[in-house]
Structure 1
Amino acid sequence: MRRIVLAGVVLATFALSVVHWLGLLVGGVAVGLLAGSWPRALAGGAGFGLVAWLGFLAVLANAGRLDGYLASGQLLYVSLAIPLVLGAVGALSFFFRTRGRTA
């Protein structure tokens, strides 16, 4: 059941991230809250960001703009770092979940 909820939440937050960058942070929060351990939360948040970036690459490839993007240098690195960092920062929500359980 947890996997079904996770899949639904991830799809919903991907849809949100298409409209606004906060969707990346919300996706990391969702993955962090549903993770079983801190390493899984961190990996899930970073993985969420990576998959979102790969989706962005697919959009660029569909538009015929991928070659220009890959040759952009620093823009490429920053646009990869942003979803990875936002997903990982969102995964810090794992600690709110565990703290609430032990308090």
Structure 2
Amino acid sequence: MMKIATKTVTVTTGNGGSTYQNEIDLNDMGLDISKIIACYFEPTNAGIGLTSTGGGQCTLAKNYNTATGILTISIGSTTYCRPMTWTGTVIAITA
């Protein structure tokens, strides 16, 4: 039976072309972590601020570890991305 659970989280990024990793523990969502087939992060503040007209973008990437139940959200930023905090919802689905 498919189950869906959600969790509100906050992740951060900085500037200077670095990648910032945020670890989200999904063990407290009431799901069998070994059966999670999909995880999503939907930020509520999807607008991305740039400090300059030099262009570039912030990118979100995710990696879920079925052994630990940790969702890693990596935010890679170009030199022109300003530091910011992203608040949003993690959605996890089990089969």
TM range (shorter): 0.3 to 0.5
Q: TM-score, normalised by structure 1?
A: 0.33
**Structure 2 length normalisation: TM-score?**
0.34
Would you tell me which structure has more helix in proportion to its own residues?
1
Task: Name which structure has the greater RCO, CA cutoff 8 Å, separation 6+.
Answer: 2
